[in-house]
Structure 1
Amino acid sequence: MEATFKDFYDTLIENLETYAGEYESFIDYGPDLFKLLCDLLNSDVDRSLKLPICGAIAYYVAPDDIISEQIYGPYGYIDDIYLSSYVLKMVGERHGYEFIQQKSSLSDVESIIDECEAKSLEILSDEEIKSIMDYIGL
């Protein structure tokens, strides 16, 4: 019997499909932001942005990040989403949001990135943000 493996994007969707909590409006973007980071990594993005993109991708799969999904469930994706939006803003500043939009299935990627950053900043403390950045070396 041949084994089949799930894409991590599918795992993220599965982890969040039943979430109907307070932060659902932006936590549901987590899988799409992860996929977008992966797609940007495989594009002609500026070489200096590849390391932050890799860091944001790795942060999604790190089991013991600052707000662990294993402990907090879907709430644990808030730090991942914050970091994704932070790195995607770096890409937007360098390449423009039209460049990102071309790689995304999201309807208005710039607004979504702004929303995810703003909502996560409402929740995360300054200390948590510093810890997230220290965790991946930004």
Structure 2
Amino acid sequence: MAFAAPDFLASLRLFVDAYEGSRQRTVMRAPDVFEFYARLFCAPTLSRDARAMVNAVLAYFVVPEDVMPEADFGPLGLMDDLFVAAHVYRILRRELPTELLTAAWQGDGPLDETMDHIYTDARAEVGKRTKDALRMAGLSG
């Protein structure tokens, strides 16, 4: 019996594909952002500290009961995941070579501009729960 490997990225694309609601432009970026972090995870030159942050982002994406559960919020529930991802990106862009980051980015548009937009939009949506999201991801005390 052949088994099909689970494909979280494909599932994520399907989940947001028909979304037409609040923060649509940002929500639709979730698959690109997840893929970016999955590619960074595979980079052999990633430092231990950077790898820990990348792991935190990837783990936060797949945890079902996070600050804004997708089961309760639908695709809009990805906003806390995107906030965590954009927050970590702001740290990584100061610590990692630009070439490493841009090589991992396969999405449309410039990486910095895209992540800045995601950060602003996601932070506004998540509101006072941003600290809860970072704490849950293991990124703050």
- Does TM, scored on the shorter chain, surpass 0.5? yes
Q: CA RMSD in A?
A: 1.3
* Mapped contact 1:37–1:88 kept (Cα < 8 A): no
Report Cα offsets for 1:41-94 as digits up to 9, x if no partner: 111122211111111100111010000001110110000000011112211111
Corresponding residue for residue 114 of structure 2: 112
Corresponding residue for residue 39 of structure 1: 39
- Cα distance between partner residues in 2 of 1:42 and 1:27: 24
Q: Which runs of 5+ in 2 are unaligned?
A: none
Corresponding residue for residue 73 of structure 1: 74
SS in 2 for 1:22: coil
Corresponding residue for residue 54 of structure 1: 55
SS in 2 for 1:124: helix
Q: Which runs of 5+ in 1 are unaligned?
A: none
TM, length-normalised to structure 1: 0.93
CA drift of 1:129 comes to 0.7
Report Cα offsets for 1:3-31 as digits up to 9, x if no partner: 32341100100100010112111111111
Moved over 2 A (4+): 96-99
Bigger mean CA offset, 18-27 vs 74-83: 18-27
Percent of aligned pairs with the same amino acid? 20
TM, length-normalised to structure 2: 0.91
